[in-house]
Chain A
Amino acid sequence: MDLLTTPLHALHTELGAKMVPFAGYDMPVQYPAGIIKEHLHTREAAGLFDVSHMGQVVIEGPDTVAMLETLVPVDLDGLPVNGQTYALFTNEAGGVQDDLIITRWGEQRFFLVVNAACKAADIAYLQAHVNGQQLMVLEDRALLALQGPEAREVMQNLSPEAAALTFMQGCEATIAGVSVYITCSGYTGEDGFELSIPADQADAIARLLLEQPAVEAIGLGARDSLRLEAGLCLYGHELSETIDPVQAGLLWSISKARRADGVRPGGFPGAEVIFDRMENKPALRRVGLAVEGKRPVRDGQVVLDADGNRVGEICSACYGASVGGPIAMAYVSRALGEPGTPLQVDVRGKMIPVTVTRMPFSPQRYFRG
């Protein structure tokens, strides 16, 4: 199968990126600097990520709020225009079909960004649920993320309006004569921005950003280690059709208004199951693991208690470049989820000691004003 490309494909190649297939796209996993240096650069200055493989969708029309609220456990009615929220497409079993970011563009107009791997399924799912609203897939838009402690200063020179945004807010802006939509968001744990840009202008905007001394191009490899250090979930790892939001530690993503005791309780797929899990805690919970020594642990490896009984499995693991050692997230028995609990991981027959630890591994530095 031919891989799809993003509007920045030529730029990645020119920068010497190592390209790999990801969710059907030919994407840069790293540039010549390498994953560790790219990770550290993002934490210390600013990194530019091409996330154009993600799906950008606009839904508008009468009762869009009500229609979307039947799909996600979020108070969209209470979301201000240009406000942004994390959301889950839950399923009837209380599991998760995808996680997404929703931005309110108007009274009945919303902008959704969904995962690349779930894009086709999400669009079909939305299409099946529209009843009088219009759904537009923005195939002609690129999406860039500018992340890191110097991102705001970089933005100050390009769009002072965007540089004034606080976490989970968006605005329309003009950069170098190009009309873009910018939000203060990202998935690295750092302050930063995401820019939705007309595809034919994306290369020029990316080059302009890369001309700024603080900014380097960062690949998907570092994007993954940055989000893991930030304790953030990745669909297909921490989230799946069979993992409920309570187990995933995402209770905060279920708006108060949509909870059992809220003003508009339930009305989203799997609400009863999820309310039950909120009452009667699920058997497993998502935890962070600090790994003793330097030997990395990997996704799918078995977690055992101190006596050698199987108690869970690793869902994501990486070398935490800012932490300076291997880290992981795992689902383990609820009783063993307290920070400080000693566990072990079976790494090809070798038992590696790990400790349940609080997340994020690296402090989140969102700008909340």
Chain B
Amino acid sequence: MSQTPTELKYASSHEWARLEEDGTVTIGITDHAQEALGDVVFVELPGVGDTLAAGDDAGVVESVKAASDIYAPVGGEVIATNEQLEDEPETVNSDPYNDGWFFRLKPTDTGELDKLMDADAYTAQCADE
């Protein structure tokens, strides 16, 4: 069974968002998403300093089977990306919610987080797929 931590928020396009103590938002893809993708072999991330609106293209994750776009679940300025994924993209499979994070935003409006799903709603969406 896929893990869906309750402290995170979820987008219908299978990204998770975590509001950090310093007010930034960390973003990655869900356990359900990595499982559906299969072995991840390449991740393209946004550039540090890029400004994204909620729903903007924020990169691509490529598995042995397919390429899948990543969207920004909330808007903001990209302040960090996970460089480890360049050499070890498989981290997305092994640890999607921690070491497998994609990028970090300084959010324009933390209120956008409230528009995302909670774990229960996301689990229900996955069950319907």
Q: List residues of A whose CB falls within 8 A of some B CB.
A: 18, 29-30, 34-36, 221, 225, 294-296, 298, 318-319, 326, 348
The answer to whether B64 touches A225, judged by C-beta atoms less than 8 angstroms apart, is yes
Of A29, A34, A295, which is within 8 A of B62 by CB?
A: A295
Pick 20 A–B contacts, CB within 8 A, sort by A.
Answer: A29-B65, A35-B38, A35-B64, A36-B41, A36-B64, A221-B38, A221-B64, A294-B41, A294-B42, A294-B86, A295-B62, A296-B42, A296-B64, A298-B67, A318-B64, A319-B39, A319-B41, A319-B64, A326-B41, A348-B67
Given A221-B65, A295-B62, A319-B64; A36-B44 close (CB under 8 Å): no
Chain B residue nearest to A347 in the complex (CB): B67
> Please, which residues of chain A bring their CB within 8 A of the CB of B62?
295-296
> Please, which residues of chain B bring their CB within 8 A of the CB of A35?
38-39, 64-65
CB interface residues, B 61-98, toward A, < 8 Å: 62, 64-65, 67, 86, 89-90, 93
In the complex, A319→B90 CA distance in Å?
13
Chain B residue nearest to A34 in the complex (CB): B39
The answer to whether A34 touches B93, judged by C-beta atoms less than 8 angstroms apart, is yes
Q: List residues of B whose CB falls within 8 A of some A CB.
A: 38-39, 41-42, 44, 62, 64-65, 67, 86, 89-90, 93
> Please, which residues of chain B bring their CB within 8 A of the CB of A30?
38
Q: How far is the CB of A351 from chain B (nearest CB, A)?
A: 14
Q: How far is the CB of B23 from chain A (nearest CB, A)?
A: 33
> Please, which residues of chain B bring their CB within 8 A of the CB of A34?
38-39, 93
Interface SS of chain A: helix, strand, loop or mixed? mixed
Of A225, A295, A318, most B-chain CB atoms within 10 Å:
A295
Instruction: List the 6 closest A-B pairs by CB distance, nearest first.
Output: A36-B39, A319-B41, A294-B42, A35-B64, A319-B64, A34-B39
In the complex, A298→B62 CA distance in Å?
10
Q: How far is the CB of A274 from chain B (nearest CB, A)?
A: 35
> Please, which residues of chain B bring their CB within 8 A of the CB of A221?
38, 64-65
Q: How far is the CB of B20 from chain A (nearest CB, A)?
A: 28
In the complex, A34→B35 CA distance in Å?
10
Of B38, B67, B86, B90, which is within 8 A of A296 by CB?
A: B67
Q: A294-B42, A296-B42 known; 13 other A-B pairs, CB under 8 Å? A: A29-B65, A34-B39, A35-B38, A35-B64, A35-B65, A36-B39, A36-B64, A36-B90, A294-B41, A295-B44, A298-B67, A319-B64, A326-B41
